[in-house]
Chain A
């Protein structure tokens, strides 16, 4: 079982009346709410937290990409990842990921990911999300009618750039490049493992199954809502006659560990309510650019609503409908399974169920969320690492994780000296 520590990097000082006073946390969130000097401290806290998670023994640290977003301060996760490559030694670095269609040329992603892979000695997990409507179509102005076609073409270009030995011409529908020849080349051969975060579309299940990529469901709505999506992926795998190796799946889950359930409830309520209340306050007008959702997924959604199927809670709902129906009070947040809380034993027990029921070998854990302080984040992280992690490591041990980074031999890797500022007196 792999336990991965994920940071969204939320701005932690959105005002208490944010929901009432602002239309959206995303796309048109007002610049007056952003204080760069406060954000200086936030970024440095967040990077400390990621490094701390690595020290505590998490298998990976994870970062992701958002634009014009008050709960995701990483327009470029690659910048954070490159710093982590220097400040960690053996932990995998999961960039989850780069939204391929936003890069022109997409060769840029092949280059930057290769840089991170080389600097880190082969520890990169390369995540390729399509990206949310807010990030891609609105904040970045990408045409929703071409987004998926551009994504797939960019994927083909990046993989070729990593694997072809000679300079080649790329003659794509949207990208033409006469001389593709990236330097550096990734350490991991044929290329870093590719993981794909999906939102429950049939096409993405099939694509991951066929390409032998890891399918990840990065939902903020927990294991109860995530069940249908992961079941859909495994049903597709079965249909294609593929083994149901849990390591071909990843799942995101919010966690709060305390001494007891009530202790955890009290500790994490503020941060969770900040996240679900303020951070997920997204104007639904940003949620449905036409063409973003494939016609196949629209069809599946409409049909599931007609059937009133159990999975219509999340699948078949537009992003906007999901945001509108989010629980925002701690009681409901916990009841709905958005955040798993409890004593170490209780959290371990629930996560075992998640990992088994969803058949997931990679759990991406959010142990910082909302305005959680650095102290509480460290407490949550340490308690999880010391008392929850050992109870989960044996899960899925009969399977081989073929999708984990294969770094250089540690003895061959560069020694990275700790930073030692010169004393003023020198």
Chain B
């Protein structure tokens, strides 16, 4: 696993990290709940055949405090669109997970020319009171790893302080990632994305971890029914909410096969 190239762009005055690795047609990836404090194997899987470009969501690791100036949903969507443009992803394939998948879906709905094909891993954005998602912000700390991924050790390793990192600032950055997600999705995760799904023309793959404990599987069908473009649902055996962390090879393979 080699290190990616790191670029920094400005979004609303905040330096925002963009990772880039590989060659071939571009694919963007917007991270899920908790963000990406470090490079993960899933991105290497994509980089085998693609130029993978990973802009940090504002407030996520690498996204500084960019969330702090985003008050309305429109603020968020404009920031993400600007970020994708600055990451040279306009018109490329776009994948996202969880929180990031919801933002990817929004961009595809509002600016169809921005996205060629779309891959969404268990996106946030809808709320069905007969089958509500788990509240990710009302959890005892020791319960979070097992909710986010099927193998809690993977989450713990992702969030562990690396050698040489600032042991005070690192945990604050991890809280900030959760706060950033809360800033968009508190309290229910419902951004009324349902109203905009019909604007998504891009062919869309919906990926769900078999053991997702955050977002019920029924939401895959809701997304599929709402999206105007052709859709396909793929379940990743043995994976939790953030399927790309539990099963990097399988998740990447499903996405790459769909994108063609």
Contacts and interface: CB of A to CB of B under 8 A. Distances in A.
B172 A299 contact: yes
Contacts of B180: 145
Contacts of B67: 145
Interface in B151-170: 167-169
A180 to B, nearest CB: 21
B5 interface: no
Interface residues of A, number: 24
A290 B140 contact: no
A298 interface: yes
B20 interface: no
Nearest to B173: A295
Given A290-B178, A290-B182, A285 B139 contact: yes
B172 A302 contact: yes
Interface in A291-335: 291, 295, 298-299, 302-303, 306, 320
A288 B168 contact: no
Contact of B71 (A146, A289, A295): A146
Interface stretch (A136-144, A237-245, A392-400): A136-144
Contacts of A306: 167-168
Nearest to A145: B183
A105 interface: no
Nearest to B59: A145
Interface string A216-238: 00000000000000000000000
B239 to A, nearest CB: 25
B172 A298 contact: yes
A145 B182 contact: yes
B168 A302 contact: yes
A290 B172 contact: no
B168 A290 contact: no
B171 interface: yes
A299 B67 CA distance: 19
Contacts of B182: 143-145, 289-291
B179 interface: yes
Given A173-B71, A174-B71, A299-B168, A138 B138 contact: yes
A64 B174 CA distance: 34
A298 B171 CA distance: 9
B171 A302 contact: yes
B78 interface: no
B139 to A, nearest CB: 5
A247 interface: no
A138 B135 CA distance: 11
Given A141-B186, A144-B179, A145-B182, A289 B168 contact: no
Contacts of B181: 290
A174 B69 CA distance: 12
Contacts of B167: 302, 306
B168 A146 contact: no
Q: Is the interface of B mostly helix, strand, loop or mixed?
A: helix
Interface string B132-150: 0000011111010000000
Contacts of B176: 290, 295
Taking residues whose C-beta sits less than 8 angstroms from the other chain, chain B's interface range is 20 to 34
Given A138-B138, A173-B71, A284-B140, A291 B183 contact: yes
Contacts of A320: 140
Interface string B10-24: 000000000000000
A303 B68 CA distance: 24
B187 interface: yes
B175 interface: yes
Contacts of B138: 138, 285-286, 289
B59 to A, nearest CB: 8
A145 B178 CA distance: 10
A291 B179 contact: yes
Contacts of B137: 137, 144, 289-290
Instruction: Name the residue among B137, B139, B176, B180 with the largest chain A CB count within 10 angstroms.
Output: B137
A295 B172 CA distance: 7
Contacts of A285: 138-140, 143
Interface in B5-48: none
B60 to A, nearest CB: 12
A290 B140 CA distance: 12
A124 to B, nearest CB: 32
Contact of B179 (A145, A284, A302): A145
Contacts of A173: 71
A174 to B, nearest CB: 7
A112 to B, nearest CB: 25
Given A145-B180, A290-B176, A290-B179, 13 more contacts: A137-B187, A144-B182, A145-B186, A283-B140, A285-B139, A288-B141, A290-B175, A290-B178, A290-B181, A290-B182, A295-B172, A302-B172, A303-B168
9 contacts: A141-B187, A285-B143, A286-B138, A289-B138, A290-B137, A298-B171, A299-B169, A306-B168, A320-B140
9 shortest interchain CB distances as A-B pairs: A291-B179, A145-B183, A290-B179, A290-B178, A141-B187, A143-B186, A145-B179, A285-B138, A285-B140
